[in-house]
Structure 1
Amino acid sequence: MNELPARFWLIAAALALAACSATKPVAVATGAATAAAAPVPPDPKGVGLDMADLDHTVSPCDDFFLFSGGNWLRNNPIPSYASSWGPRNQLGNRTQALLRRILEEAAANRTAPPGSNAQKVGDFYAAAMDTAAIERAGLAPLKPELVRVAAVRDQVGLRAAIVHLQELQAGVFFRAGVDVDEKNTAQYAVRLDQGGLTLPDRDFYFKSDARTEKVKTAYRAYMTQIFSLLGDAPAVAQRNAATVERLETRLAKASRTRVELRDPQANYNKITVAAAQQRYPVLAPQALLAGMQLGKAREIIVGQPAFFDEVNTLLKTEPLADLKTYLRWHLVRSVASTLPTAYAEAAFRYNQAQTGAKQPAARWKRMQAATDQALGEAFGQLYVDQAFSPEAKAKALEMVNNIKASMAEHIQTNTWMSAPTKAEALKKLNALRVKIGYPDVWKDYSALKITRESYLKNVLAARQWAAREAAAKFGGPVDRNEWSMTPPTINAYYNPPLNEIVFPAGYLQPPFFDPRADDAINYGAIGGVMGHEITHAFDDEGRQYDAAGNLRDWWTPADAAEFTKRAAVVGRQYDAFSPLDSVHVNGQLTMGENLADFAGLTVVYGALQKQLQQRYGNGPRPKFDGFTPEQRYFLSWAQLRRQNIRPEALRQQIATDPHSPGQYRTIGPLMNMPQFQQAFGCKEGDKMVRRAADRAVIW
């Protein structure tokens, strides 16, 4: 199989043809008497890129997504249980194998000290895997909760049921909880935000295209089957499903769109509890907060005031029986995976309509994820002990610091940002906190009781424990050691109110991070992720938070206007991407992620150049597999974003996910980058080269 050239030789008459040649260079004779030159030794094989994955029938300057991984895409079909497949899934499989061994050892250990992490993790997983016990129990473990809903007789009882179901994370009507106050990040605040829907997005309730109708048909069938399993007669089950859809449609109509939810200022509306009580008397925030152990709160943040106007009206005008039907549905839906097979299968069929998956994942994989969700840091401690070294943490931290230094240079040399805004930006960058691997302080699960008696009871206990733990934080100092992801998670995040970037141990392993690989590979892989998360602090949302994490405008009006103008170019570029007929990427919904990809790659490229300069000075830089460090950098980025995805899942991703599809995360940023064009010898007119007038430039 041909490979991209190790070098681009400027041989006068052959220049135009050699620019993208796939042959190895040979020595040229300087005279008739000159002996044949010695053959050029092959470049050494590198670590981190599989040359067999490249598709040399495609020019890198034409479609870098296919060039970098076309063979991989053909040779890695989506498994029947998955909706998409890529390197992260493959890493997930390897990580899951280790996690499974940890769980099975814990489950087999019947002598673990009572109350220890090993006992709780082992008992949780053992109960989750005991399908015979789950089938025998039927609905018995859920019976007390169903009785509680059935016993509601008036508005007071209804509010109490809503509070209880909020604690159980059943997703009824809205989301309520304690979080850092975005305009005073030294304290916690109580927040109320829109919610209460089953379909994946508010727009699904109103769209009528064939794909949406297919999902809605599955949604109605799912509800009807669940009500039938609960004992309702067929006609009653259908009426109950229609009731839930009618109530959810009311909530959806009052909900903000996903694009509107990206405006943090619009979603921060702090009012006194007394004022909220007056505006929403049926919802009765005072009683609501008291029931949630938050009665001492004097102010609350209402994310979407008009949505709660509708909730208040709905609770007042809808028949109590219909509201109870809605509560019953969401209670059972939220725990379907813990119930007998018929319930879990009904949930899968609904999910199948959305994702196209052919069959459920193996039970052990699903129960492993459930253990991580319920006991993430208890489970995570067992994982970290076996899978994450101090050396890996130190290397990752070194890379982050190099990338931060590159970001500082980009800010300082920025040509469109004024000095006052640069000073604030540098202050924010310097204050950015970095968390690597796992928490410095682990969660204390001592108040959570886990047994082998019932998987469902364990899930409900863990949810209630988490809700009460969150409520207990209110009024105390902000816990800056807390993590929002568990150690085995293969992901990362930026948290604006805490101005921190977080990289769990699960992400810091091959192919995303490999201590054996050359700098270009690691900077293009996990380095690209680090740059992405750092530059989230300066994307269209993140830039609205200051160095302390407060939601405060620190930009001069002229600089803010210039940023918005430049970001709009990126938005228009992604709006034009269309992976399916009549389906376009939403450039506004994906704006933050696209900006972070583009800016991150630009900043990390600068960090790589500094690293190479430190390592090799002005001397030659080694090639591996025939590629320069710059080429390997872009290939590393691209190969980790290759993805096969089912059409159903792709449509849903575009409708609901702030991330663009993998192919556009690959080519979208590179089309704007002269560094990429120089690395691969691309020229004006090539598909991977945007005209200068159309090119986006942020940092």
Structure 2
Amino acid sequence: MKKVIIGGLCASLLTGLTACNNKEAEVAAPEPTATAQAVTEALGSGIDFANFDKSVRPQDDFYSYVNGTWLKNAKIPSDRTSTGSFYDLREQARDDVKAIIEDVAATPNLTAGSDEQKVADLYRSFMDVDTLNKLGVKPIQAELDKVAALKSKDELASYFAHSQVIGGGTPLAFYINVDAKDSSRYATHIWQYGLSLPEKDYYFNDSERFVNIRQAFVEHIEKMFTLAGLANPKASAEQVLALETAIAERHWDVVETRDSSKTYNKYQTSDLVKLAPDFNWAGYLSTLGADKQSDIIINQPSFIEGFNEVLKANDLAVWQTYMQWQLLTHFAGNMSEALDQENFAFFSKTLNGQEEQQPRWKRGVSTVSSVLGEVVGKVYVKRHFAPEAKERMQVLVENLRKAYGESIDNLEWMSADTKVAAKDKLAKFDPKIGYPDKWENYDKLTIRADDLLGNSIRASELSHEKELEKLGGPIRKWEWHMTPQTVNAYYNPTMNEIVFPAAILQPPFFNMKADDAVNYGGIGAVIGHEMGHGFDDQGAKFDGEGNMRDWWTEQDLKEFAARGKALVEQYNNYAVFDDLHVNGELTLGENIGDLSGVTIAYKAYKMSLNGQPAPVIDGLTGDERFFIGFTQIWRAKIKEESMRNRVATDPHSPAHFRAVGALSNMPEFYSTYDVKEGDAMYIAPEKRVKIW
């Protein structure tokens, strides 16, 4: 199922993050069971030497030196667009969750309404292809009928809201999150939305690749309308592209949308009519259940103004065709094989180069994790996360915090006043490790084994209801935006929290049996990366309480911006393909996170030695093992089509440049590997970027 993805809420280690909708129930921390997974044994240092390519000089390309043989030999499975450290761990986590689901489903006489019944029947509803094929488009026919029955654009506005509540598409994305300038309250927000293609440039770029994508998009829409038995499929497809192009023209680009200052625009709800006088705000907000709020944050005001123009310029019938498309494209994965496979053919195969669709069981497991994530998460933690891992992570986090504090103290470019504010924020970081202290409650959710689309809609409706419950209430500090079985991590600026789910705390990121140097280079850099987001170009706008305010002196802010500009220029020069470079502005926050992360992790590692020399293990010094440990976590191979989409939309640099970009700025890397002028990774000392 597709979900509305909201930018700018939290900074994650690997991919963008949508704030989830949780309601919590008090539970005790899970205890390990007799079936708990044994921690992976490491050989010697925890480094896999078989991956190295010794034909590459480490001074020229450390990433290929550490990962080159793996890159040559690795095969991307036909049902995926990538393979590597993150992606393979995600596959393992999915296998682990599958085992949990199968154990639950094999249990006889599950109590109706229990969490176990919901897990088993949600999975069954996804796997029951025969029923889905018999139903065809019938599960959304009632919604298609509602769209066809719309009599005015005022009714259309209300239907936009209804569509989002049930999990469908809409030009506007409504969400609830902590108010960035008053972290004691939740606020309502609206974000630009409504496009099917990855980013606005896909609608306007005249190069052959994009022209072909747009043509394939129109053909895909026509096929979907034909499969659904809707009238005039070819003309409808052309209408959808034209309308989405008009919407895209008003969208902010990906660089603008990551600017937390520009996207904070608080309006009185009574003043929304000034932005979009032809839009039925009363009906829209009432249908959402948010009509009692006196204010709302509009993330892209000029988009709302432009949207009003598009609304006026297009007849109701055009909008009805567009909303029919939104229903089809958002719910296709939960309907017949024909609709599902056509949806895959365009969005996964054409856009991202994925050769085959994932086996249905994989997608079923992902659906259960999406809808009932913390139900299976509780069992996942019991089976796969040892208490000792959490204890060791807590030690690592505090060591990184201490190292970060010392680094701030020693910054030559920062004034004493700003250092005090920075250290106050650092002291208030809230680390969350492994799993939540309170778990989501799913009591109100009805799951039926013969109603996949209904399950999806009811889950979306309940999620929306839970979000509305936040308004006017206390901030839910205990809430997580990732499940324990997620291989990722994130920083949330309005909570000033760094979060590390259980599933990422495995090799090569974190190995209980590995050498400290490798762990500091791996999970230590991940911890430092998330801390670094608190001090990247956007996170640095927030104080220790999670409020967006200016805590910098004017001169310090200029110095900080100058360092960011230098990092932008460095990454702009990295060529992903001959015709495509990294977008240094889009990736600036993540690049600061990577550079800060490895810098502070190295400092923490050296502090952990307590003045003693590091042992030589497997013929490597501690510093060598640290840098190898860091570089092997970024091991990745990605399909070209998928990589091109990521470069256009993803605020993370490609893995290769996440490794070499950060290390090229570290003097300690130069001394460890004797990097000199003329080496490919060499940057002149005066041009190396040091921020934290």
Q: TM-score range by the shorter chain?
A: over 0.9
| 1:224 pairs with 2:218 | no
Q: What is the CA deviation profile of residues 602-659 of structure 1, one whole-angstrom value per residue up to 9, with x for unaligned ones?
A: 111000001122xxx43x4212221111111111111111211121111111111100
Q: How far 1:224 moved relative to its partner?
A: 0.9
| 1:287 pairs with 2:283 | yes
Assess if the C-alpha contact under 8 Å between 2:137 and 2:335 holds in 1.
yes
Q: What is the CA deviation profile of residues 370-427 of structure 1, one whole-angstrom value per residue up to 9, with x for unaligned ones?
A: 1111111122122122111221111111111100110001111110000111111001
Structure 1 residue ranges (4+ consecutive) displaced by more than 3 angstroms after TM superposition:
none
Assess if the C-alpha contact under 8 Å between 1:222 and 1:350 holds in 2.
yes
Q: How far 1:495 moved relative to its partner?
A: 0.4
| 1:573 pairs with 2:566 | no
For residues 63 and 259 of structure 1, the distance between their equivalents in structure 2, rounded to whole angstroms, comes to 28
Partner of 1:149: 147
For residues 169 and 306 of structure 1, the distance between their equivalents in structure 2, rounded to whole angstroms, comes to 25
| 1:197 pairs with 2:195 | yes
Assess if the C-alpha contact under 8 Å between 2:518 and 2:629 holds in 1.
yes
Q: What is the CA deviation profile of residues 60-94 of structure 1, one whole-angstrom value per residue up to 9, with x for unaligned ones?
A: 11111111011111121111111121111221222
- Gap runs ≥5 in structure 1: 1-43
For residues 187 and 558 of structure 1, the distance between their equivalents in structure 2, rounded to whole angstroms, comes to 32
Q: How far 1:45 moved relative to its partner?
A: 5.6
Partner of 1:641: 634
What's the Cα RMSD here?
Answer: 1.4
- Counterpart selection for 1:127 from 125, 128, 132: 125
Partner of 2:464: 467
Partner of 1:314: 310
| 1:382 pairs with 2:391 | no
Partner of 1:7: none
Q: Matched residue of 1:641: which SS?
A: coil
Assess if the C-alpha contact under 8 Å between 2:647 and 2:653 holds in 1.
yes
Q: How far 1:275 moved relative to its partner?
A: 0.8
Q: How far 1:278 moved relative to its partner?
A: 4.1
Q: How far 1:169 moved relative to its partner?
A: 2.5
Matches within 5 A, 1:1-40: none
- Counterpart selection for 1:158 from 150, 156, 159: 156
For residues 603 and 379 of structure 1, the distance between their equivalents in structure 2, rounded to whole angstroms, comes to 34
Q: TM-score, normalised by structure 2?
A: 0.92
Q: How far 1:156 moved relative to its partner?
A: 3.3
Partner of 2:522: 525
Matches within 5 A, 1:113-124: 113-124=111-122
Q: Find the structure with the greater CA-based Rg.
A: 1
Partner of 1:687: 680
Q: How far 1:126 moved relative to its partner?
A: 1.1
Q: Matched residue of 1:549: which SS?
A: coil
Letter in 2 for 1:307: F
Q: What is the CA deviation profile of residues 479-512 of structure 1, one whole-angstrom value per residue up to 9, with x for unaligned ones?
A: 1111111110000000011111111111111221
Higher relative contact order (CA 8 A, sep 6+): 2
Matches within 5 A, 1:390-539: 390-539=387-536
| 1:660 pairs with 2:657 | no
Q: How far 1:110 moved relative to its partner?
A: 4.2
Assess if the C-alpha contact under 8 Å between 2:140 and 2:327 holds in 1.
no
For residues 685 and 247 of structure 1, the distance between their equivalents in structure 2, rounded to whole angstroms, comes to 52
Partner of 1:29: none
Partner of 1:678: 671
Q: How far 1:297 moved relative to its partner?
A: 0.1
Assess if the C-alpha contact under 8 Å between 1:283 and 1:311 holds in 2.
no
Assess if the C-alpha contact under 8 Å between 1:623 and 1:629 holds in 2.
yes
- Counterpart selection for 1:347 from 343, 349, 352: 343
Letter in 1 for 2:74: N
For residues 527 and 682 of structure 1, the distance between their equivalents in structure 2, rounded to whole angstroms, comes to 24
Q: How far 1:307 moved relative to its partner?
A: 0.8
Partner of 1:255: 251
Partner of 1:5: none
Q: How far 1:530 moved relative to its partner?
A: 0.6
Q: What is the CA deviation profile of residues 450-507 of structure 1, one whole-angstrom value per residue up to 9, with x for unaligned ones?
A: 1112111111111111111111211111111111111100000000111111111111
- Gap runs ≥5 in structure 2: 1-41
Q: How far 1:673 moved relative to its partner?
A: 0.8
Matches within 5 A, 1:58-97: 58-97=56-95
Q: How far 1:579 moved relative to its partner?
A: 1.8
Assess if the C-alpha contact under 8 Å between 1:183 and 1:550 holds in 2.
yes
Q: What is the CA deviation profile of residues 639-698 of structure 1, one whole-angstrom value per residue up to 9, with x for unaligned ones?
A: 111211121111111111100111101101111111111122222322222111321121
Assess if the C-alpha contact under 8 Å between 2:59 and 2:679 holds in 1.
yes
- Counterpart selection for 1:372 from 365, 369, 373: 369
Q: What is the CA deviation profile of residues 192-216 of structure 1, one whole-angstrom value per residue up to 9, with x for unaligned ones?
A: 1101100000111110112222322
Partner of 1:185: 183
Q: Tell me the percent identity.
A: 38
Q: Matched residue of 2:134: which SS?
A: helix
Assess if the C-alpha contact under 8 Å between 1:177 and 1:471 holds in 2.
no
Letter in 2 for 1:322: V
Q: Matched residue of 1:186: which SS?
A: strand
For residues 158 and 280 of structure 2, the distance between their equivalents in structure 1, rounded to whole angstroms, comes to 11
- Counterpart selection for 2:581 from 579, 584, 604: 584
Partner of 1:624: 617
Q: What is the CA deviation profile of residues 290-343 of structure 1, one whole-angstrom value per residue up to 9, with x for unaligned ones?
A: 211112200011111111112223223311111011111011100111111111
Q: How far 1:47 moved relative to its partner?
A: 4.0
For residues 361 and 211 of structure 2, the distance between their equivalents in structure 1, rounded to whole angstroms, comes to 33
Q: Matched residue of 1:81: which SS?
A: coil
For residues 200 and 429 of structure 2, the distance between their equivalents in structure 1, rounded to whole angstroms, comes to 35
Q: What is the CA deviation profile of residues 562-619 of structure 1, one whole-angstrom value per residue up to 9, with x for unaligned ones?
A: 0000111111000000021120100000000011101111111000001122xxx43x
For residues 472 and 110 of structure 1, the distance between their equivalents in structure 2, rounded to whole angstroms, comes to 36
Q: TM-score, normalised by structure 1?
A: 0.91
Q: How far 1:355 moved relative to its partner?
A: 1.1
Assess if the C-alpha contact under 8 Å between 1:643 and 1:662 holds in 2.
yes
Partner of 1:273: 269
For residues 499 and 674 of structure 1, the distance between their equivalents in structure 2, rounded to whole angstroms, comes to 30
Q: What is the CA deviation profile of residues 408-449 of structure 1, one whole-angstrom value per residue up to 9, with x for unaligned ones?
A: 011111100001111110010011111111111111111111
Q: How far 1:560 moved relative to its partner?
A: 0.4
Assess if the C-alpha contact under 8 Å between 1:51 and 1:625 holds in 2.
no
Partner of 1:169: 167
Assess if the C-alpha contact under 8 Å between 1:192 and 1:301 holds in 2.
yes
Q: Matched residue of 2:188: which SS?
A: strand
